[in-house]
Chains A and B, each alone.
Chain A
Amino acid sequence: MNEPQDYTYFPLLYQKEVAKRGQSVKLFSEAFLTTPWYEKTLDREGIPGDFFDKMEKGTPAIPLHHTTLSLLLKEDMPSVQSKSLKGKPLLGIYEVNGRYFFSNRDAMAALIAQSLLPGLLAAPLYTTARFEELRRYVPESIVWQEVLRLPVITEGFSGLDGLTVPSGKLYRFSLTSQPAP
């Protein structure tokens, strides 16, 4: 199961801005890439890219579909899942009432590789979780080096309704010259 990245960004921001450490590095959490405000956050982190423009317009490889929440849940989502299970992921973006849904994490990874990765690589980059789906869309090998685990108390948090405890880990993201296996 993927790490629950959505709880990870703010503790890191806490460490970065409150403890005044790591101000020169870039911090990235793909968990928020579909939220409308994250474009501002990436700007603040100094990460350029046309990710959000492409997300709103689609690309030839990742087409945009206008739909409703009901249709997305009842028709599109099951078809995307069934086709994805056969092997190659079906990539797509759904626009629902001004909000954007990726058909799966592969679609998000493909769009990151297309539009964000050059900007991401311009400075030391730390991610809040391993994003394994990126491997399929990046020609080089990706190395995630675990560099930090925040001293955050998890007592009483785990196990509730089957939710996973956030990892609290911070990874240094880098590409090697060796091609991906």
Chain B
Amino acid sequence: MSSRSQIFFWGSSHAVPTTPGQEAQSGGQTAPAGPVPGWKCLCFEWLDPLLLLLIGLFLIDNMYPFLWWGDGPELLTAARCKGVAHPTGYPLYLVLLDWFFLLPFGSVAWKGNLFSVTSTLLGVFFLLRVMPVRKDRLWIALGWRLGILSLIASPIFQRQSSLAEVYALSFLFLAGILWRAVRFADAGTALHLILLAGLCGFAVGHHRLLGLMLPGLGLSLIPRLREQTISLRMTLFSGLVFGFCLFLPYTLLFMRAQGSPPLNWEDPSSLQNLWRIFSAEQFRIDQKVQRMQLWLAYEKGLAGHPWRVILAEISSIPHLWWHQFLLSSFLIVPGVFWLYQRSARLLVSSLTAWFLPAFLSFNTRWAIVNPFISSRSAWLHWESAWVGAACWSVQEILIHGSRPPGWFWRPVSSFPWHSIWKSRVLSSWKHLNASPAGPWMRFPPGAPCSPFHPG
């Protein structure tokens, strides 16, 4: 038998050298350590380029030609005029968008929309790299691609990829992190860890919601850190790199604000205001005002108990939220038992990766005054985190079991079908548009004009 390991990562084209003891731990079962000899099925060599081409054409065809309401005009203006966008400022997005404006063709709005298309396409590229087509996992890899196609076909991905918004870049970061994490777990060098830490820092600095993937990511990488003897000093240095990349883009906002740039919501010319933008103080105050208004309406007899209102709001869109919740639960249940048998740590990792986005989705759904924006972002991250959670779960199983039992593949193979169903469910997005908001969602006539709810 080759000295190369049968321990195997998805997306890895390299095997990991192991000690003889590890072979015994894995039960002596083997898995191929590279392209299978004789694997001449050229028809799959052009599959990924073809998919990227088709997805790119599809996204460009769906791209908005000009401005769309919402944050897009503000972000375009802030990028073009070197200003400051609404909290959390999105400095990295503004810089990248400004560079993208160097393209010699198209209007600023068109190029901003094209930037989202490009980000999504690159994100898909990295997701494809996470799980390349191989003979020994052909159907899983094909299912993975089918799932990606379904994800792209879902309305929320189409919307966010067709206009100037920050979420396509978030998706790119998330996919890139997954890919780099697989590479780190594969190669296990300190350089890979530092690159991964820097990427995570930039990602969370771009959008705080991406921090939801860090617990699951960290827990999943702990075994790798121990096995690959990354020194504590190097781990701490990676943490520093993470923090540096997290805050670095915000120095740009601070420097810009010393002049007279177009601003929105806050002037980050002082460190205190910069922290307000970074920590999204505006949204936390929004939540506080929302909670107070709920209780005020209850005390005056204008609405039911806040908890009843919250439950009514959640249950008013069961076709979106509860389907997603139940489907994700069904998917995770078999894996949970299997993971618990293998490792309680992996169980915690998977549950964390699954639970935190779900929790935040419900929280932001009822807590933020302008809920359609928050629910939109929460949806996107929930979707992305779900892909990430599935990826990690499957990956861990491949690490710790060379040939998982057949029953476990059911949830894995259900991924594409789950996604197809989900895209069908999400295609009823208009139902959400038509759902009447509760009276607590609107400010009563004559409410004070505040910095948070002008007019």
Query: Which residues of A are in contact with B by a Cβ distance under 8 Å?
Result: 2, 4-7, 10-11, 13-14, 17-18, 30-37, 40-41, 43-44, 69-70, 72-74, 77-78, 80-81, 84-85, 94, 99-105, 107-108, 150-163, 165-166, 168
Contacts and interface: CB of A to CB of B under 8 A. Distances in A.
A77 B448 contact: yes
Interface in B394-427: none
A161 B441 contact: yes
A102 B437 contact: no
Nearest to A151: B66
Across the A-B interface, the 9 shortest Cβ-Cβ residue pairs: A10-B74, A160-B372, A37-B267, A11-B73, A31-B454, A102-B449, A101-B448, A161-B437, A37-B263
B80 interface: yes
A52 to B, nearest CB: 12
Interface string B68-79: 111001101100
A102 B447 CA distance: 9
B451 A162 contact: no
A34 B66 contact: no
Contact of B296 (A10, A37, A74, A162): A74
Given A37-B265, A107-B449, 8 more contacts: A35-B266, A36-B266, A69-B288, A80-B448, A101-B448, A157-B69, A158-B433, A160-B433
10 contacts: A14-B80, A14-B109, A18-B76, A40-B263, A69-B292, A94-B448, A99-B451, A152-B67, A154-B69, A161-B370
Contact of A17 (B74, B262, B370): B262
Interface of B: 64, 66-70, 73-74, 76-77, 80-81, 108-109, 159, 260, 262-267, 285, 288-289, 292-293, 296, 299-300, 370-372, 432-437, 441-442, 444-451, 454-455
A69 B289 contact: yes
B82 to A, nearest CB: 10
B266 A102 contact: no
A77 B264 CA distance: 26
Given A40-B263, A43-B260, A34 B293 contact: no
Nearest to B155: A156
Given A10-B73, A13-B262, A17-B77, A104 B288 contact: no
B66 A32 contact: no
A105 B445 CA distance: 10
Contact of B432 (A37, A77, A160): A160
Contacts of B81: 13, 17-18
B287 to A, nearest CB: 12
A103 B441 CA distance: 20
B293 A73 contact: yes
Given A2-B455, A6-B455, A160-B432, A34 B449 contact: yes
Given A10-B74, A44-B260, A161 B372 contact: yes
A7 B455 contact: no
Nearest to B447: A77
B455 to A, nearest CB: 5
A103 B159 CA distance: 38
A36 B268 CA distance: 11
A5 B367 CA distance: 23
Nearest to A84: B446
A32 B262 CA distance: 13
B263 A7 contact: no
A14 B449 contact: no
B450 A34 contact: yes
Given A11-B73, A31-B455, A40-B267, A162 B446 contact: no
B436 A34 contact: no
A62 B149 CA distance: 59
Given A10-B74, A13-B262, A73-B289, A5 B455 contact: yes
Nearest to B295: A74
B454 A6 contact: yes
A85 B266 CA distance: 33
A161 B436 CA distance: 6
A165 B450 CA distance: 20
Nearest to A152: B67
Nearest to B73: A11
A70 B64 CA distance: 43
B441 A162 contact: yes
B356 to A, nearest CB: 24
A27 to B, nearest CB: 11
B300 to A, nearest CB: 8
Given A43-B260, A159-B434, A14 B70 contact: no
Given A17-B80, A152-B69, A35 B454 contact: yes
